Amino acid sequence: MTVIECIELSKTYSRRVTALNNLTLIIDEGTSFGLLGENGAGKSTLVRIIMGFIFPSSGSVRVFGEKEIARAHSRIGYVHERPIFENRFTGRAYLTYLGQLSGLWDQTNKTRVDSLLEQVNLHQAADRAIGTYSKGMLQRLAIAQSLLTKPELLILDEPTSGLDPHSQWEIRQIISTLRKQGKTILICSHYLTEIEELCDAVGIMRRGSLLLTGKVTDLIHTQNTVEIVLAGQLSASDVVKQLNLAELVIKARANQLNIATSAQPQVLSALVRANIPITSLNPVSHTLEEVYINAVQKPEQPEKVVVGMREGGKR
């Protein structure tokens, strides 16, 4: 099932400011999708359009098949980058009140609020005034608020921004649990290691366009390059010179050779003939940070991208 469907979205605020440029993005049910990009890349504009808070200048957006996004709001949980609270409430009273606004009453409301306070580890502080909460506690309360109606889609805008390391860890644990429950999650974040840990797929944005999209495992795995580790203290550079492999080797450092997958049979044959032992042969992987830097440093090439999480990216 397609949860989010954005087709050729553009958003122009004036003749000089284009926030989104012909962007196409499809996110399927059960996918945890990370949206990366520098400030001004268009992430927040895209989220506001998906939430139905603003409208695109052109193109279309559907959430759970609804063109009128308000009809899908009961199925969406949203955490704003800078949530606002009424500090005189206690955490329990705040969730109880919002639960009533959402149609939860009496024992159903109490049971749901108690469950959420436990889920976000605020049960011990539930009857304290929100004004006494730390920033990490406030963010956990915001997540609890977003989960009141048991939404199928969760949209988190910078969920760990400005938090200390322990609070970031707590938020990641909550998100990880929700991901395991099969919820569809869209996360906007500047923390690449966080996205790599929490997301199945990622989209990298710059100046309103999607530069790169795909499954995280595919993006960090360079399928056309392998690394050969030579045994002992053998110098990779010396071996390359000795066997005349310069044209086949991409990189040689210490006791490691990086080669194209297509060159693997020829290089291995040369090593075997020269009785040069190897320790391992593995596909080359990158961190998501390296993928991101490589993407944003490339010259811009406008493109239309459809990101379905089904096999082959097909809808």
What pLDDT, in 10s, does the model give residues 80-133?
A: 988 999 999 999 999 999 999 999 999 999 999 999 999 999 999 999 999 999
Average pLDDT of every residue of the chain? 89
**pLDDT bucket at 300, cuts 50 / 70 / 90:** low
Q: CATH number for the 2-219+289-313 domain, one of 3.40.50.300, 1.10.1040.10, 3.40.50.12280, 3.30.1330.10?
A: 3.40.50.300
- pLDDT tens sequence across 107-116: 999 999 999 9
Looking at residue 20, its pLDDT comes to 94
- Quickly tell me which residue has 């268009």 as its tokens: 42
User: How many DSSP H helices and E strands does the chain contain?
Assistant: 10, 13
Closest by CA to 212, choosing from 199, 220, 221, 203, is: 203
| Structure tokens belonging to residue 220 | 């960090």
Do the beta carbons of residue 33 and residue 201 sit within 8 Å?
Answer: yes
When pLDDT is averaged across residues 181-194 and rounded to a whole number, the result is: 91
What proportion of the chain, given as a percentage, has pLDDT over 70? Answer: 92
At position 126, the amino acid (one-letter code) is A
Three-state secondary-structure class, residue 266: helix
The domains of the chain are located at 2-219+289-313, 232-276
**Three-point CA angle 186, 190, 191, nearest 5°:** 90
